[in-house]
Structure 1
Amino acid sequence: MSFSPDQIVEQLDQAKNLAYTDASTYPQVLRQILNFVTSPESKIQLWCVQFLKESFVENKIANHSDKVDLAIDSLDSLVFLSNIPNLHIFKHVISISSVIYRLVFRYVAENDGCNPIWSKLTELKNSLVNKFQSNFPLEASDNEEFDLFRNIDTKIELVKFMMLVIDYQSKSTVINGSSSNGSVSPPPNTFSLNNVTTTHSLIKYSNMEYEAVNLLDLLLKTFSNNVIVAPLITATLNHFIIIMKRKPQYVTKILNMVENYDTNAKFQSNYQSLEEFKLAKKYVDRIFRVFLFHILRNNLVPTNYQNTLNKKMNQLVERGNDIRKKNIFVINEPNIRKRKFDGFLNPTKKIKTLDYKNLYCLNDINSDLNNFDLTSVPQHILTQMVVTALKKASVNKVTKALEIISERYTDAILGPGVAIKKEDADEDDDDDDVGENYNPETVYTLPPPTDLSFQEKKEHISIIIKNFFKLANNPNGISPEEEKVGDAEEGINKELTKTAINSWKKDSWLVLLTRLATRGMRSAVLQEDEDNEAEKSPDAKANEEMSDMIRTAIFDYFLDNIHSRIDLIIEWLNEEWYSEKVFNEEIQIRKAKAQKAVKQEASDDAIVDTPPVETAKVETPIYNKWAGKVLDSMIPFLEPNDRKIFIRLLSDLPYLNEDLVGRIKSLCLDPVRIKIGFLSLQFLIMYRPPVKDVCLKILTQLSESDQDDLREEAKKLLAKYSV
């Protein structure tokens, strides 16, 4: 008897619950679950990889020796999963492999002769590292530049893994960390080649260090691209700080790159707007400035580099100060150059109009070049132009072009366009006949308005949003034309204004726009399935999508100027939380009352005193989602002097949970912004008691870090507030 994927997942859930309930069964359960990894069903594979992540990354396995044994047993499964083209599975595999690599590498270092284990670990490492320059698990496109900006999240995860491999496969020392007798010891609580005997038969020093150098060179290639991929550059530089501290042998390579890197020499990508390119330059300059400040302050720079790097840092500081004084989007930068486009501007495989012009058009369909009449060019010149163009074009590009045209041709043959039938105009439309049919006793009523389609509703919402943001950009909140209202209309306008809002202020547009999103389009119509679980009706889903259009517009408006619009975002999120809480609370009360009425009817005694209606905890998923997006957008770009703004946001958010507070952890891990992270946690512990336990949990995790300053600061706060 074969089981469906849902039935198998249900059985796996039962096994997982058993392992969580009885820790002694955990190893046996995990080994049994590994047998399901090779299942062809992606649902089962995803469940298995999530369980492995919970086991290793989230430390569900208490016993260390069991964890090492299970890590070794999981190697084959991870190698298999690392080659499955599924984005979620692959990202989980990278996270798990970072933990597995540490455990198994140490095991092999302490137990020479484990050839099969070492071979499997090497296979897993190579499987992941070799995918860094590709877009796995996504398919490669025909355009190398486009691929640079795809799948960034996965590449950042791979950067973390590659940095771990570099750290483990090379010797560690600390710059200026010599002991009194002149010997140099590796940093405490770390593992590297220093901990491996030089006579080890499998972990050979020369091979390990050669691989580490090659991986470092591969990561440095990120900076040699002629376009700016800001998230990848930021992640790589942050890890380079740790590498420079532990691996002085690589300092020269990294500093040579830093010296030569200049955002002004980079091209604007064809997949970036001008505004996106300017922001990318700004934030990459900022991360380089922070990086230089940190390594110079902590004496990580050799003396022969200090002068040039000080000059570079001063140059970046001046550039940053100049940008702060002006609006980055208004500044005209004539030196910005766009990268030569290597792809096709019109790669669609379906044509709108059935003609040869659209069949063969691969450039911009609106380009004036398409209207050029080639018949006016002499045939011998035209032939020479075609031959020259074919010689210059790459084989891959010509093949891709022919593939697109072939697909268009096939689509046109199999599915020809339907001609639209035009109605004949009425010929008997004569205004002179109107008088004959006139009847003064007839009451004329207008026909009911036609229902708008969902697409039309979205278009109207877009117009409303644009009009509100025009008000936002007007310093007075109202246009000059509206101020010149005649005396005849003044009384009516005043009454209408009172109906809508008592007095129009500069930020009144935000009140109306947020309430339109949170209250105006919220539907209370619910459908109940057989299990009595409320599901959203189609109209409710459509309204929520339109509400999200408004939320996205407000969110994007905030991103344009985070520092000066923090009040706006606080007001919006407070309205979002309040409206959602009241709405969901009302639904819970109604549902509880209905259940209570049913119980009373079913009871033999009709007259019985029943306890008051109790409702469960009211969830606010929409607020949680957008509050998380706000934090995710702010945290990567916070500077050390932004701590007041960030703490202000944390203090005024109406609700915080473990997921939202957990985002602060990344600030603590950043050597430059560590103070913001710990100040924020300290503030929440002192002034927001509901999240105190969550903050202490984060501090406990940080107290186990291998970074000395991070560990000491976490332990100090734990000792002060854990009582």
Structure 2
Amino acid sequence: MNPALGQLDAARSLALGDGRYYGTIIPGVLPIIGPSASASLEVRRWGADFLAEAFASPAWGADEKQASALTVLATLKDYVEGVDDRSVVKSAIQAAASIYPLVYRYIISNPNDAQNWQLMLAIKSNILARMDAAPPGVRICCVKFLQQIILVQTPGVIDPRRPDPNDISLALVPRSHPLIPYVSLEAEGHGLLDRMLGILHGDHSDALLVTATLNSLGMLMQRRPIAVNKILASVFNFNPLKLANSPMTPKNKVIMKSIERTTRALLMNVMKRNPDGPNTGRIQQYLERMHRMRLDVFDESNRKRPAPVEPTDGLDQSKRQRLAANVPVAAPVVPPLPPGPVSFRQLFTLNPDGNTANFDVQAFKDPEQLLRILMPVLQSIDEARLGSAINAVRSRWVNLSKATPRPPSAPNTAGPVVDDEEEYEPDFEPEDAEQIVNRIDGGLSSNNFPDRIPDAPLAPYKLPEAPPLSEQEVQKHGDMTVRRAFGMLGAVDEKEKGKVTKGGFNRLAASDYGRDAWVTILARLATRANAGLDDPEEGIKDEHAVKRAKGNTNISEAVRDGLYQYIMNDWKKRIDVAISWLNEEWYNDTILSQSSHLAAKLNGTSTSAASSGLPKGNYQRTTLRLLDGILPYIEHTDKILLRFLSEIPALDHAILARMKKMADDPERIELAIMVLQYLYMFRPPVRSMVVDTLVDLWRDNDRAQASARKLLVRWRPEVLEQGGGGGGAAADVKSEGVSDKESANGALEVKAAS
């Protein structure tokens, strides 16, 4: 063994134990394995494997990898161009696949380093040239390199609020970069994707290459949504059983099964990641079609020799019977019964010398196991033989009945025998009925019971009263009831939502037992269960005070918490539930407010709720809680917020203040302005509050000044003249705005789309 390999293996073991040592070991081993050293083939194989292992290690930081990647480019170029050994080339290509994104990110930040980029391009060109003519093992490594190039040279989705530092894509490249032209790299990335998809429709004799390509497509669809449609279209046109037209050798069968299973796993993972996606139906159809094709191909190949059409045997009983011949069935020879008393076993045993006569059925502890044995046996019995055996047992039973003497009948003590010509018509009098009952009781007591039960009236039975529940038990059972109700709500099919026969607040809540009925029941349980029972001097709770103290058995708060969690689990599809719930809250608060005003007038008193003129209740608290829960997930394209704020029954400054908070995100400024514009035009009672909110935006948010100024110039121009906000003349801004008619049409289109 080469002594240098022993030292290299020791260094490799040290790095495997702690990934931080890779940064110090690589500069030390490069003079030994690099292009300038006259290293042996074993050392070069070790060097290529070590580099591939180092840059694929997750224990080594990305920044340290990027710094070390520039130092090994010359070594990798020498491996792929100057070494013909297949093992060295495979490991070098794998290392290049891990290094390419790192060098790419480095060049984005350092556009003047053309030397390192030229080395990377030389390695890239050499690997791409091997794609079609290299051995199968090398081509699989080239597929991995292709995947990394496509990921890097196609634009990814960048979220400024949640950036992913590990996602290196074309979106990070400026348009004016001197070394990385945006348009050329994007075109090359899409071309290489087409080249990878072409492997699926080529020769399937190399199953490893096809399955490697299919496994690479899953990562591309997950991280590059822009390429999903192209990849799925190519997979839908892909036939994993293409070799079915070739001779069905064992090798071809294994290849087809391997490719078919990989394809099915790829599409199943796509459906699991996005079960409600637009391509789910097509994927299911493709999987069903592929399943039928697989059954047709492998069932025909595994089918045995069919049975002959014409009968081949005669009428000999010892051979197979002719299919269309009526073979006479010989009557079984029934042995005579033994003298003396006969048991049921001896009565039904027609062949005492057979093996089944001594079989104990009680050995089967599991009745299901016995049934699995008996059913095939009963189906295989000949009907004619079964009939003969039944007749033999019947004749035995008749002979036994005749030979057994009957017990003597009881003497007749009722008097002389009545003539047969007279008809006996019993009259059901109370005395006769009582005699019949006594005779039956006497027979039962003589046979089964030692003494006769004396007649006595039954005392009424009453169940004992249940012990009173403690407050903790009441709270526990109440929470269980609420969870069960929401479980039934989740089990209702959402396709049946909205099927309410009678609208309005006075509709029947459970008229059809659908989704809308359960939502109405729970909303009214939350709002009307304890209506009027709370302390009017308690004051309105804070919108974030949703947790109940220990021992508090308020069922309304439990249902409110359940409704909030149910809506937030899928708030986009359940926004109608939120609107229905808030309508119920507002209606209940309004009714309670009116009742408190009337009671205050009658009593001549003035409560805090009555004097303030505001309904004391939970509508505002619930609305603010829902808004605070939904706003962090609102995207700038989610127009569903417009529907929510336009359909809830009441708005105030606290609710509209959430639009100012949402406008702190630069991407969502236009959505906030659109919501305020729609509310101004189609909800006249809140116009003053909307304009006040726009004024605050214009004064406090520098990025929203331009959008707010376009609306304030028409609705409150005196604020612009006072200054303190965006500045500029009102007349200059008015020319940039749109007309009221255009704004109304745009808002209506957005409302209809949501």
TM-score per shorter chain, which class?
0.3 to 0.5
Of structures 1 and 2, the larger Rg is shown by 2
Question: Greater relative contact order (Cα 8 A, min sep 6): structure 1 or 2?
Answer: 1
The alignment's TM-score, normalised by the length of structure 1, stands at 0.37
The alignment's TM-score, normalised by the length of structure 2, stands at 0.35
